[in-house]
Structure 1
């Protein structure tokens, strides 16, 4: 087998696994870009994005891609511990708390869902590719979330409700999906400061 053929096989083979997917984006990024010089955009956004990436990695997330105003990461990409959804939601809560006007930063919104994904090799600079419904749904949930909010999908919430529940659920129509999705909205402001995360309250979307 020549090197070219081996390279082709490495790029097209993959495996399935259960994982949690987290998307995070900055709110108002387009308005920021339109209102100030690009150097100012960089000075405002880069420190926040660095902090967000550090938070995600500290909770065990692996960054799949970083864009100008957000990123996607996966929990449980290589090792399944059984707490992937909890770590993704905990990271999401910390991410949305890291931004906001009171800190002089753009607000952050995020989305989380879990499920079976298909993992492949990818082209540089991304280290891997991730495909499947949880990826799409987590991205749509991130779009749905308002500034300073985390939206959680039905499978992820079912796995974390003991730690972050109870919650009232709402059926939400998301772009590109034919059926409504059960979504849950959580905001760090709703978490009592004197309690442990196990008693955090979720306010449904």
Structure 2
């Protein structure tokens, strides 16, 4: 069942996980990250939140109201900083939030509110919470919740920059100026881009581009007419600091990055890294002319 309703979208991403895999090994690192995500989920539930999905070392949650999401985000930071094991392994989190109308469909959530929340998360630094000012505008400075303006940032699909704010969850305000400079430089840095080739066509997608839709329907940016390709098969867009392929099809998509093994992506997200190929609706066949080739760059 599909439903459109207003909600607060929260993304929480584990910081320090890459180094953890190098120093503690895959099994221990995965267990520690799972522990962080479980702790975050417990906090979300206490504030009336619901888990949408886990993507690697990140969770996506929804809350009915902005105030619930803001308090949950603050408590998430305190929970991780108060755990001796997480601190000892140099694990932290960064959080982004936005409140707006979203489409709830088959256990997932889509729409502009999701894209804005993801952009907020990509701007947040370690141990930081960044929210859209549209979300925080009606929030009064209540006990335990302080807000600090951070200026504005570009968001994919938005004609004008979006105002952003930091949720100050700790007592030390000494780094506010530093945070402001970090956010400002992030918005002015050279845009990440992805080149996508299909037959003789080449498309360039960057972090401010509209979502790039692929499928059988003629309204898509890239139309591929094949029986095993869905009307809206997949979407490529910049989310949470990565180019992401989101499969929305019946048969799924097959993704291969570099020389890695091919993976089946079905009704889920996958990060596009370096270069590789995407085959829609069926495993890659060298003779199929509709294979997609991509390359990520700065």
1:160 alignment partner, SS class: coil
Corresponding residue of 1:92:
73
| Counterpart in the other structure of 2:168 | 187
Partner of 1:9: none
**Alignment partner of 1:46 out of 31, 34, 54:** 34
Match of 2:123 among 144, 160, 166: 144
Matched, 1:62 2:50: yes
Q: How many residues align?
A: 171
CA contact (8 A) 2:95 2:130 kept: yes
Deviation at 1:16, TM superposition (A): 1.0
State the 1:137 CA deviation: 0.9
Cα distance, 1:59–1:102 mapped onto 2, change above 3 Å: closer
Counterpart Cα distance in 2 of 1:33 and 1:95:
23
Q: Which one has the bigger strand percentage?
A: 2
- Runs ≥4 residues deviating over 4 A: 174-178, 202-205
RMSD: 2.6
Q: Are residues 114 and 133 of structure 1, via their aligned partners in 2, closer, same or farther at CA, if it must alter by over 3 Å?
A: same
Alignment of 1:32-181 (within 5 A): 32-76=20-64, 84-100=65-81, 103-105=84-86, 106-121=91-106, 128-163=107-142, 164-165=145-146, 167-174=148-155, 177-181=158-162
The question of whether the paired residues in 2 share the 8 Å contact of 1:99 and 1:148 is answered with: no
CA pair 103-159 structure 1, distance change in 2 beyond 3 A: farther
**Structure 2 regions of 5+ residues with no counterpart?**
181-298
Deviation of 1:166 after TM superposition, in Å, equals: 5.6
Contact kept in structure 1, 2:70 and 2:167, CA below 8 Å: no
Report the 3-state secondary structure (helix = DSSP H, G, I; strand = E; otherwise coil) of the residue aligned with 1:159.
coil
In 2: Cα distance, 1:101 partner to 1:20 partner:
25
Structure number with higher helix proportion:
1
**TM-score for the superposition, normalised by structure 1:** 0.73
SS at match of 1:42: helix
User: Whole-Å Cα distance in 2 between the matches of residues 47 and 169 of structure 1?
Assistant: 31
Classify 1:162/1:94 alpha carbon distance in 2 versus 1 (closer, same or farther; 3 Å). Answer: same
Larger radius of gyration: 2
Unaligned runs of 5+ in 1: 1-12, 77-83, 122-127, 193-201
| Cα pair distance change 1:191/1:161, threshold 3 Å | farther
If asked which structure has higher relative contact order (CA below 8 Å, sep 6+), I would say 1
